[in-house]
Structure 1
Amino acid sequence: MKIRNKLTLLYSLLSAGVLLVFALFFYLSFANDQKDEFYNQIKQHAITKVYFLFDLNIKPEVLQTIYANNTRRVINEEVAIYDKSYRLIYHDAENKDIVKETPKLLDSIVRNNEIRYKYNDYNVTAFTLKHDNETYIITAAAIDRYSQEKLHTILEYLAIAFSLSLLLIVVAGRFSAEQALKPVSNMIDNVEEITANNLDARISVGNGKDELAELAITFNEMLNRLEKSFNAQKEFISNIAHEVRTPLSTIIAELELSSNKQRTVEQYKQTVQLTLKDAQTLAKLTTSLLDLAKASYDPTQISFKTIRIDEVLLDAKHQLEKQTPSYHIAIDFTEIPDGEDEITISGNSYLLQVAFTNIMENACKFSEDQSCEVKISHQNNRAIIDFIDHGIGISNEDLNKIFIPFFRGQNRSRSSGHGIGMALSQRIINLHHGEISVSSILGRGTKFEVRLPHV
């Protein structure tokens, strides 16, 4: 069953239930009021007959005639009057005797002063009455046909009103369900239009306040993550196709040349050395591309833990100096805050080490003395790491493009590379909710500044 049908059914059942309870309450209250009113009326009629008998001295035969010809609301009212000795003083129709007053019944009346009950179609009230210092026991019974007909009419009206109301409730429930689920229908239409070719499309969030808006916002956030991962995969594949082709072509060409004719051992060694260099370049490129792809993923897919910035920097320094012994990295710890928490962040140690290594390597490559100075400080709840070199600097034109993947500036002739390192470092820093900026002066050097929020 569709949700709109479920909502319509639930709304109709609840509304019909409330309406039915209201109708029953009204009917039963009205019936109870009518019954009390009728009991009081026949009681008053009975008391009136007592006054007719004892105060106006009307003969019992006259009262019996009135009883026989009664056509008013109180139908077939029968009144019987007994004295305290249970002796019958008056009876409207002794031959009929609807109530059948037994000594036991009369005892109950005296004990309770008044009792009311239903006997077949008759409403019976029996009570004691003091008149002229005498106590009388009076019973009165009658059929309230007028109230019964009125209640029957009211019941018919209520049934008709309930049926019509139920029909309106179903129509209103269907309309309300359609309106309530209209945003869902629109959402479904939007989702059906989203494909791999237009992952940038998003679902309308409506007023942005209700639960459906929250669902749309959550779905859009999921699309953001999917689009980011999808673009990262496409970019990764494109990068591989673009960058891996060159070293592979070089390796193939060198091996084909070597296999075309006989060469000397020295020439073969030279070919092997060139091939090995290209293979190492290819391996380094592959590692960089894998790191770049990993840094483009959703942060929820990467494990984060509490780490110290100084420890990650030391690991990056040792790794780079081991990889290239001619590089010299000096880390200045003099401005490290006293509090350990101020240089402690939540992050991925491996990725940050990759980012720091790339920045240090970039500084060393473009410095005459192949050195890099690193300073650690703290400001406004952020750990600050400065990477400073005294190299050739970067032009203003290149400075704006330095974080673009595969971009290589005017100084690319001074060092080999693929233009991945800085783009990879920026993505890793952004992944850690940090910031990276660069400033440079041609001929004097460059400074990269990394800001990371501490825990």
Structure 2
Amino acid sequence: YWPSSIIEKVRANKEITLTEGARQTVGLLYKDNQGQFVILVSAYDVQAHKRLYTLSIIMLLLFIIVSGALYFISRWFAAKSLEPIGVVIKQMKSIRASNLNQRVDEGSGRDEISELAMNFNKLLEHLENAFDLQHAFVINASHELRTPVTSLLGDIEVALQQPRSANEHEQLLHRLLNDSKRLKETVNILMEIARADRDYTKANLSPIAIDDLLWELQSYWTDQLGKSALKIEFLQLPENQENLLLTANKSLLIIALNNIISNAFKFSNNKPVKCILLADDSHIDIHIKDSGIGIPATEQDKVFRSFYRGSSAKTYPGSGIGLYVTEKIVHLFDGNIQLQSVPGKGTTFIITFLIKK
């Protein structure tokens, strides 16, 4: 049954094991007093092969079951992890031009989905403010231009109805002059809103030194009202001068600050106005303080509304749009604006910007 080569191999090695197909063979060299004998034994392990077959079937079934379980578990985890994205997408789809004040849920985590929602909300805020400025321009144009133009036309028509004396012509010319001044002021306001809207939509940002900007404003108001009109005070400055740099649009900042300063002069009959700077390594505060008529406590939360004019401001010229535009601009650069006022003593506007590290 076995070739001589196998027998000789057993004699040489004294003991061997080998596989012949499905059979296992053992060879052994046996010595006794009668001589040396080569013993070869071969067998087929039926039970081992059955166990191996059963084990392979079990492993195959386990592989199928585990793979299926992993598939469905991974699908469940994927659905749960993508669920916040689905909620955000659903909320995004519900936002239209008519409800730009709506915001998507930012969640409570710090993952990529929350960051996406926060950036989308910032974009919505910018769009809302831009739409509000455009809406304010259109409404203000139709509302403010109509009154002085109608008054001008009425005075001219009355003057042409019959001959007038020199005194009557003088009075008429005074009224026309006042209406013309009001019309000019209205046009200037509209130009300011249009400029703010243009810069707002462009949003060209650059580092601006707040202290230098305040000196520029003082120079401007010195040319307008005199040397001591706008007083600048630096009560606190940071050790690092770079913390006086604010990433913003310079034109918009000038519009926002000048709106407050011009109101301060107007409602105080051109009395000196203080502009105080307090800054450290975490924030920049700008206080603009006047000694004017003040704002009643019941009206202080309304002054930033579009076209709102307080009861004490009715006798002063204006459109009620300046502070509205100012608040929009301050919020654009992640700032905050608030006021403190005592009727008859004056008002202080406080603008705060946080330093972004």
Structure 1-normalised TM-score? 0.60
* Aligned residue number for residue 144 of structure 1: 44
| Partner SS state of residue 124, structure 1 | strand
Q: 2:117 aligns with which of 206, 213, 220?
A: 220
Q: 1:365 aligns with which of 257, 266, 272?
A: 266
Which has the higher mean CA deviation after the structures are superposed, 404-413 or 116-125?
116-125
Cα separation, 2, equivalents of 1:315 and 1:302? 21
Determine if the alignment matches structure 1 residue 407 to structure 2 residue 305: no
Cα separation, 2, equivalents of 1:204 and 1:233? 22
Q: 1:240 aligns with which of 132, 137, 149?
A: 137
Deviation at 1:309, TM superposition (A): 1.8
Work out whether residues 287 and 351 of structure 2, in 8 Å CA contact, stay in contact via their aligned partners in 1: yes
Cα distance, 1:380–1:162 mapped onto 2, change above 3 Å: closer
Determine if the alignment matches structure 1 residue 417 to structure 2 residue 321: no
* Aligned residue number for residue 394 of structure 1: 295
Unaligned segments of structure 1, at least 5 residues: 1-97
Structure 2-normalised TM-score? 0.73
Cα separation, 2, equivalents of 1:177 and 1:203? 26
Determine if the alignment matches structure 1 residue 444 to structure 2 residue 349: no
Determine if the alignment matches structure 1 residue 172 to structure 2 residue 69: yes
Work out whether residues 317 and 357 of structure 1, in 8 Å CA contact, stay in contact via their aligned partners in 2: no
| Partner SS state of residue 384, structure 1 | strand
* Aligned residue number for residue 101 of structure 1: 4
| Partner SS state of residue 239, structure 1 | helix
| Partner SS state of residue 352, structure 1 | helix
Cα distance, 1:113–1:319 mapped onto 2, change above 3 Å: farther
Determine if the alignment matches structure 1 residue 346 to structure 2 residue 221: no
Work out whether residues 124 and 139 of structure 1, in 8 Å CA contact, stay in contact via their aligned partners in 2: no
Q: 1:318 aligns with which of 193, 204, 219?
A: 219
Cα separation, 1, equivalents of 2:345 and 2:181? 36
Deviation at 1:363, TM superposition (A): 1.2
Determine if the alignment matches structure 1 residue 291 to structure 2 residue 229: no
Cα distance, 1:180–1:166 mapped onto 2, change above 3 Å: same
Cα separation, 1, equivalents of 2:42 and 2:310? 113
* Aligned residue number for residue 89 of structure 2: 191
| Partner SS state of residue 229, structure 2 | strand
Deviation at 1:152, TM superposition (A): 4.2
Cα separation, 1, equivalents of 2:214 and 2:75? 60
Work out whether residues 103 and 121 of structure 2, in 8 Å CA contact, stay in contact via their aligned partners in 1: no
Output one character per residue of 1:318-373: Cα deviation in whole Å (capped at 9) or x when no partner.
33444x34685333446454835276132223333222222221111112344212
Determine if the alignment matches structure 1 residue 281 to structure 2 residue 186: yes
Unaligned segments of structure 2, at least 5 residues: 164-169
* Aligned residue number for residue 44 of structure 1: none
Identity of aligned residues (%): 16
Q: Which amino acid aligns with 2:89?
A: V
Which has the higher mean CA deviation after the structures are superposed, 310-319 or 286-295?
286-295
Cα distance, 1:283–1:130 mapped onto 2, change above 3 Å: farther
| Partner SS state of residue 443, structure 1 | coil
Work out whether residues 25 and 41 of structure 2, in 8 Å CA contact, stay in contact via their aligned partners in 1: yes
Cα separation, 1, equivalents of 2:266 and 2:209? 27
* Aligned residue number for residue 166 of structure 2: none
